Amino acid sequence: MSPAPGVPGVPGAPTLRPGSPAEAGLDPGELGRLVRDVRALPDGPRPWCAGAVVLAGRGPVIAVAEAVGWAVRYSGYDEEADAGVEPAPARRVPMTVDTPFDLASLTKLCTTVAVVQQLERGTLALDAPVDRYVPECTGVAAHGITVRDLLTHTSGLRPELPLYELPDRASRWRALRTEEPSAEIGTRLYSDLNMLLLQQVLERVTRRGLDRLIREGITRPLGMSATGFGPRAGAAATEDQRGPWAKADRGMLRGEVHDENAWALGGVAGHAGLFSTAHDLAVLCRTLLSGGSYGTARILGPDHVALMLTAPGLGFAVDEPWFMGELAGRGAAGHTGFTGTSLVLDPATDTFLVLLANTVHPRRRPPDSGPRVRAATALARAAAPRPTGPGTGH
């Protein structure tokens, strides 16, 4: 059995360091294209984002670390002009590579790791019904929904509930526990409710809050000191949250969780609420690519990492070209977040890509994963073997 999550384990797993494309074994021309594309994202009359941070590399080498644009560009949104309200230049806040972001659904990845840690310990069973652990979850109990169903988004639960409309947290959790599937079980239907129910399972089994589980089992042993639930000072701004486009009237948000249900649940939720930096997320990628170890810390064993990352994936999306581009197809895994966040790790090439952006600043727009696809494709091409033989110079 592997060491308990968060306990120092097998030494020697490589830790991240900055380096050149050559040191990473990556094509500098393709990485240059990746960087140029990211630098253009905050430009134009309808920019994709106000600002962004991208980290990419191979093995232990970070070959790209770039910040562009603004962590805070707008003070609000003018609905009549359909444009952001720009403050005096001195009040704008430039983006840096250390800027924390509201991760939105990337939170689900840490919730997943926390669940798989309990699977490894034997305190949870993947195919056990949810109500074995939380009998109050009567909505899923009637249908025999399992921990696996929640992790693979095959529970049939609808994408979300308007928990923020209910008067208090007790009624919000009660609504979640009594919610029944709206689609046939086994049908893949991505749902925030799955991760919220997994939060309930984790907290009941361990008798600890999700924030503590993630801190003690993931972020502290890995040295991810910039990662945690909000509020978070210095974070990139998100949205001027007002009706009719938002579900709550909260004004311009910075350092407060963007997701309305996570906010209504106090900021700690299985589906959203974490803040982090690109470097911390690269550490998580490196840990998983190394089979669960980073330096002298071990948070999972290789078999359980493989269980999580092997198609169809547990919590992680696997081989999804709509945001992974040409990294998809060989077992790449990752996730996206509504606020503009994403990460991809590719065991086949030992590469990782973290792209964080505040695409909802100053307000949400129809989703567009084109920049994610281009960045992932550039990294895939940078990692591709170069041709050899007569006429190639090799």
Segment 62-90, tens digit of pLDDT: 999 999 999 999 999 999 999 999 999 99
With a cut of 60, say whether residue 56 has pLDDT above it.
yes
Q: CA dist 282 to 15, 296, 327, 342, 353, Å?
A: 10, 17, 16, 11, 8
Which pLDDT tens digit goes with each residue over 304-347? 999 999 999 999 999 999 999 999 999 999 999 999 999 999 99
Which pLDDT tens digit goes with each residue over 120-150? 999 999 999 999 999 999 999 999 999 999 9
How far apart (Å, rounded) are the C-alpha atoms in residues 92 and 157?
41
- Torsion sign over Cα 268, 272, 275, 280: positive
The amino acid that residue 181 corresponds to is P
What 3-state DSSP class applies to 252?
strand
User: Which of the four pLDDT bands, split at 50, 70 and 90, describes residue 393?
Assistant: very low
Angle at 311 between CA 306 and CA 315, to 5 degrees: 75
Which pLDDT tens digit goes with each residue over 297-307? 999 999 999 99
Mean pLDDT of the chain: 94
Structure tokens at 262: 């996570």
Mean pLDDT calculated for residue range 177-190:
96
pLDDT of residue 388: 44
With a cut of 60, say whether residue 390 has pLDDT above it.
no
With a cut of 60, say whether residue 382 has pLDDT above it.
yes
How many Cβ atoms sit within 10 Å of the Cβ of residue 103? 31
Percent composition of the chain: helix, strand, coil (DSSP 3-state, to 5): 35, 20, 45
Q: DSSP per residue over 106-174, as a string?
A: GHHHHHHHHHHHHHHHTSS-TTSBGGGT-TT-HHHHTTT-BHHHHHTT-S---S---GGGSSSHHHHHH
pLDDT of residue 391: 41
With a cut of 60, say whether residue 2 has pLDDT above it.
no
pLDDT of residue 44: 86
pLDDT of residue 386: 52
How many Cβ atoms sit within 10 Å of the Cβ of residue 321? 15
Of 153 and 391, which is predicted with more confidence? 153
Mean pLDDT calculated for residue range 358-363:
98
- Torsion sign over Cα 154, 159, 165, 168: positive
Pairing of strands 61-72, 17-18: parallel
With a cut of 50, say whether residue 271 has pLDDT above it.
yes
Structure tokens at 99: 């800027």
Which pLDDT tens digit goes with each residue over 191-226? 999 999 999 999 999 999 999 999 999 999 999 999
Cβ partners under 8 Å of residue 45, min gap 6: none
The amino acid that residue 254 corresponds to is R
What 3-state DSSP class applies to 351?
strand
pLDDT of residue 12: 60
CB 374 within 8 A of CB 137: no
Predicted TM-score (pTM) of this structure: 0.94
Which pLDDT tens digit goes with each residue over 10-28? 456 899 999 999 999 999 9
With a cut of 80, say whether residue 55 has pLDDT above it.
yes
Q: CA dist 219 to 13, 18, 25, 110, 111, Å?
A: 16, 21, 28, 9, 12
The amino acid that residue 202 corresponds to is L
Which pLDDT tens digit goes with each residue over 88-97? 999 999 999 9
User: Which of the four pLDDT bands, split at 50, 70 and 90, describes residue 45?
Assistant: confident
Map out the domains of the chain with their CATH numbers. Answer: 8-383 (3.40.710.10)
What 3-state DSSP class applies to 70?
strand
With a cut of 90, say whether residue 3 has pLDDT above it.
no
User: Which of the four pLDDT bands, split at 50, 70 and 90, describes residue 389?
Assistant: very low
What 3-state DSSP class applies to 53?
strand
Cβ partners under 8 Å of residue 331, min gap 6: 309, 310, 311, 318, 319, 346, 347, 348
How far apart (Å, rounded) are the C-alpha atoms in residues 333 and 343?
8
With a cut of 60, say whether residue 280 has pLDDT above it.
yes
H/E segment holding residue 212 = helix 210-214
User: Which of the four pLDDT bands, split at 50, 70 and 90, describes residue 384?
Assistant: confident
